[in-house]
Each structure stands twice: as C-alpha cells, then as structure tokens.
Amino acid sequence: MWAPINILNQIPDKNFLIKKSNFYINSNYFIKFLWCFIFMKKELQRNNISLLFVLNGINFSRFSNYVGISQNLLPFNKRELLKLLNKPFFLLKLILIRYLQLYSYKKSDGFIFLNSYAQSIFKSLSSSNSKTIVIPHGVNRQEIPVKVNFDLSNQINILSISPIEKYKNYNVIIPALKKFNDNNNRKIHLTIIGSYESGYSQLKKIIRRLNLESFVHFKGRLAHNDVIKILHKYDFFIFSSSCENFPITLLEAAAANVPILCSNIQPMPEILNNNAIFFNPYDSNSIYKSFDKITNLNQISLMLNNARKALNKYNWNVTTIKTFNFLNKFTRGK
C-alpha cells in the first residue's frame, strides 16, 4: 500500500500488509502527480505488483493493469457545478477530476461502484469494456449504541452530520425549521456536527435574521468515535445533501435506531431502500412538510423496522470479501 504517512499511521499493522511511502507522496498534489506519472510504474514493477487498485478512481501511473473505484460524484452533478462559477479554480479542478475519472474508467480492467446510481452515471457518459460491479460500504453496527425510548413530549432534537458546504443545503433547512417552530408548541432544536466550510458564514446570517440562535447549535467537527456514541441521544437525523456517493452517516443513524429525514436525490433513496421521510433538499416547504410527519409515531415505528432489515446488506465483512473476489479476477498469472 502506497500512501502518505499520516494515512498509513491510521491503518493497523497486519502480516499481509506492506506499507510504503516516500517524499513525493507526502508532498503537494503536483509533486504527487509527477511521481505517479513518471516513477510509479517502475516502482510497481520493481515490487512485482500484478494489479493496481486505485482508490480515488484516477490512474496517473501508466500501469496498465488496474481497478478503480468511484467515490466522488460532485464532479458529475451539473447543478452543483453551476453554483461554483464564482470559484473558477475549484470548478476547473472538479471538471478535470470528472474527465480523469471517466478516462480512467474507460481504460481500466475493472471498476467498483458504491451504488447503482453512480454506476449508471459513468455508463451513460463513457463507453467502456471494463467489468463493473456494485459493492456498497458497510457499517459496524456493534459499535453504535441503539436508541430505545422515543419521547417527543417536549422539544424535538434533530441531528445533522456534514461539513457546512453549500451543497449540504443547510440554508434551505433553516427557513423550514423557523416555519415549524412558529406553528407548533413543540420546538425543533437542530444540532450540526461538521467542519465550518464555504456555507458557514451565509448560514449564520440566515439564522441571525430569523432569530433562531437558540434553536440551531454548532458542535464543529468531532472524531468519528465520538459521533457514533451520541447518535442515539437524538430524536431524528436529517441529511439534506444534494450530491453524495455513499454517505455512511445514513447507515450509522439507521443502526442507532434513529428515524431519518433525508434528501430525495439519488443515491440516498437507494441506500436507505426508501426507509426514511424524504424531501426535496432545494425546497424549504418540502422540508417543512417532512417535519410535519415526524409526530406520526406509527409511521416512524414501521420505517425503523424496515430500515433495520435493510441494514443487513451493509456489512464490512461482505464488502471485503466481494472486493477481493472482484480484484482476484484481474490478477495476472492466476
């Protein structure tokens, strides 16, 4: 495994795993690119590598036998790209990533997708003879405390976990929250866990303008182990992103037995098998209507039961076995 030192340090040592790094990999993107393009092929050959597994879906190495994986759909979302016209360098970067991923997909021996929606996007944009497969990520259910009691007699506590980027659509949630609180005795309190990114300053202005400072709580970015330990303490989980590939936080919320209010844009309905209260993330009124449904406890109970059943297909052991079985098909000399 070739990776920067800070990544390798997070991966447990195993007898079957050889970790490799160098000055170039730990440098900036341009130097990484030069090393991959000029030297990596020889490095792979020197280490008798028969198959390269490219985790970002882009192969710069000129090593011909490789399998890629799609983990970023933002470069393929035209609506979100148009919002970045005021950030030309970032937009250009995403357009370049889009081209390079499609080119790598076309030239690959095989390609892994995390859901059928992502697979359909690539197949519609580029013809390729490479073999493809859908292998979703998993969730460690045994690590996540489960919610047992539901009490909506007082305030309604809703949790969201996402970096505060514009395509997460927090600015659309807030007016819906305002409308709900103005028309109900039980008030919604929204807690947001995530780093403060490009959408933060605008979001704070909206919250101040609507006098919602006491109803929206920012926790910043928290360690993953801390997040999964508090999921079950909330009444609902909301996910309003309009562009994702495979948000594991959805699976973690379902594993915690927390009802989910979710964006209706794919692949979210596919991942949750439609076991959520869905809304249009671009429409505050749609989100408000989803808030109105959260007091229907019979519907919530049925949704949770179905969501727990749907979780059975998201298992890291199954993901690992399917991934290596797929990779083994392309190993030279087999």
Q: How many domains does the chain have?
A: 2
The reply to whether 25 falls in a domain is no
Question: What Rg do the C-alpha atoms of the chain give, in angstroms?
Answer: 22
Is the CA virtual torsion 134, 80, 161, 187 positive or negative? negative
Are residues 87 and 180 both part of a single domain?
A: no
- Residue 214 exposed, middle or buried by CB count within 10 Å (0-12, 13-18, 19+): exposed
Are residues 131 and 193 both part of a single domain?
A: no
| Residues of the chain with confidence (pLDDT) below 50 | 334
Are residues 132 and 224 both part of a single domain?
A: no
Are residues 90 and 175 both part of a single domain?
A: no
Cis peptide before 267 (omega within 30 of 0): yes
- Residue 105 exposed, middle or buried by CB count within 10 Å (0-12, 13-18, 19+): buried
The reply to whether 33 falls in a domain is no
Q: How far apart are CA 89 and CA 270, in angstroms?
A: 33
Are residues 275 and 324 both part of a single domain?
A: no
Which CATH number characterizes residue 50's domain?
3.40.50.2000
Question: Angle 308-313-317 (CA atoms, 0-180°, nearest 5)?
Answer: 120
pLDDT digits (tens, 9 = 90+) for 283-327: 999 999 999 888 777 788 888 888 888 898 899 999 999 999 999
C-beta of residue 219 within 8 angstroms of C-beta of residue 193: yes
Are residues 304 and 158 both part of a single domain?
A: yes
| Residue whose structure tokens are 């919320």 | 253
Are residues 95 and 157 both part of a single domain?
A: no
The reply to whether 29 falls in a domain is no
The reply to whether 78 falls in a domain is yes
Are residues 160 and 270 both part of a single domain?
A: yes
Give residue 306's pLDDT.
87
Give the H/E segment covering residue 260.
strand 260-263
Are residues 88 and 195 both part of a single domain?
A: no
Are residues 134 and 147 both part of a single domain?
A: no
Q: How far apart are CA 271 and CA 310, in angstroms?
A: 9
Give residue 334's pLDDT.
46
Are residues 123 and 233 both part of a single domain?
A: no
pTM for this prediction: 0.91
The reply to whether 7 falls in a domain is no
Give residue 23's pLDDT.
94
pLDDT digits (tens, 9 = 90+) for 171-202: 999 999 999 999 999 999 999 999 998 889 99
Q: How far apart are CA 235 and CA 213, in angstroms?
A: 20
The reply to whether 79 falls in a domain is yes
Give residue 4's pLDDT.
94
Is the CA virtual torsion 170, 307, 222, 217 positive or negative? positive
The reply to whether 17 falls in a domain is no
Can you give the residue range of the structural domain that contains 73?
A: 39-138+316-328
Are residues 208 and 248 both part of a single domain?
A: yes
C-beta of residue 235 within 8 angstroms of C-beta of residue 150: yes
The reply to whether 68 falls in a domain is yes
